[in-house]
Amino acid sequence: MRTPINKMIPLSVVDGPGCRTAVFVQGCNIACAYCHNPETQRLCNGCGVCVSQCPAGALSLSGKNVIWDEAACTQCDHCIRVCPNYSSPKVRWMEAAEVWTEIERNMPFIQGITVSGGECGLYPEFLTELFTLAGNAGLTCYLDSNGCVDFTQYPGLMAVTDKVMLDVKAWNFQVFHRLTGGDNSIVKKNLKYLAQTGKLYEVRLVCLEEASSCSGPPEDKEVDMEEVIAGVAKEVRPYLEEFRLKLIAFRNFGVRGRMETRKSPLPEQMEKLKELAAACGFKEIQII
């Protein structure tokens, strides 16, 4: 089964423990207002807008398909900036075995692989095949997920997955829906399932500046950070020592749309959230 791959980072130290190869799939099932890689959200629809704008002449159209000449490409990313569809013409459709062939070259330097996106959970068969190959070679296999695909439905994938890094973007349904267009009941189900099965590596929360929060009811906030921290702690209390909470300060790098001019939260605000998390019982809390 061919899967759209946005890019691969051969050696990454920010996508899980140790040095890992990170694979980014194309396509997402939600659309976060603060997404920092929006060009991974949609599949190319062949509109052709980017083709004539490539300064290197690396793009052409064949019917409704964009052809990307990787050798001619200078990686200026102008095509991504002009794409009106939150997509990229540089996506490669690859079999799991082909992805594995590229990863295998990094074997002397890596401890594992992480698949991110977009949303990796949209491609469970691809993941199962890739993780089986990587696991057999002695690598650990991590997923980086928005949690909006129900992992309980894919026991075969879970059997070959070591750990999951799970986004919990909001706790209140209305807040989550406004922020992402999605439904967080699946995220909460996954949170519990992954904690209970020992598969949760970290929970991640993107934090906005305080001014964009408000003193009103939680459902009126843009991101209900305090409610996420308290909600996760309550939901999986017996497992709080087994995973890390990562508090990510919003940065507008790469963001498009209503949040692209937003400021980052102040360090003092992040420290306050960390204190709240510690009071809620989290043991390992990281601010980035």
State the minimum distance, in angstroms, from the CB of residue 56 to ligand SF4: 4
Bridge partners of residue 203, in order along the sequence: 166, 245
> Hey, what are 268's tokens?
């003092």
Query: Which residues contact ligand SF4 (rule: CB under 6 A)?
Result: 44-50, 54, 56, 58-59, 66, 68, 73-79, 83, 85, 87-89
State the minimum distance, in angstroms, from the CB of residue 106 to ligand SF4: 23
> Hey, what are 288's tokens?
């980035």
β-pairing verdict for 20-25 and 92-94: unpaired
Distance CA 259, CA 243 (A): 30
Sign of CA pseudo-dihedral 185, 37, 282, 159: positive
Q: Cα torsion at 117, 123, 128, 131 (round to 10°)?
A: -20
> Hey, what are 71's tokens?
């050798």
Distance CA 109, CA 250 (A): 31
Q: Specify the length of the chain in residues.
A: 288
State the minimum distance, in angstroms, from the CB of residue 251 to ligand SF4: 22
CB 171 within 8 A of CB 224: yes
- Residue 92's H or E segment, with its range, is strand 92-94
Place of tokens 């997923």: 143
State the minimum distance, in angstroms, from the CB of residue 39 to ligand SF4: 8
Which CB, 37 or 145, lies closer to ligand SF4?
37
State the minimum distance, in angstroms, from the CB of residue 74 to ligand SF4: 4
State the minimum distance, in angstroms, from the CB of residue 78 to ligand SF4: 4
SS3 for 238-272 is HHCCCCEEEEEECCCCCCCCCCCCCCCCCHHHHHH
State the minimum distance, in angstroms, from the CB of residue 210 to ligand SF4: 36
Q: What is the CA radius of gyration of the chain?
A: 19
Per DSSP, 81 falls in state H
State the minimum distance, in angstroms, from the CB of residue 92 to ligand SF4: 13
Place of tokens 């003092």: 268
Which CB, 41 or 269, lies closer to ligand SF4?
41
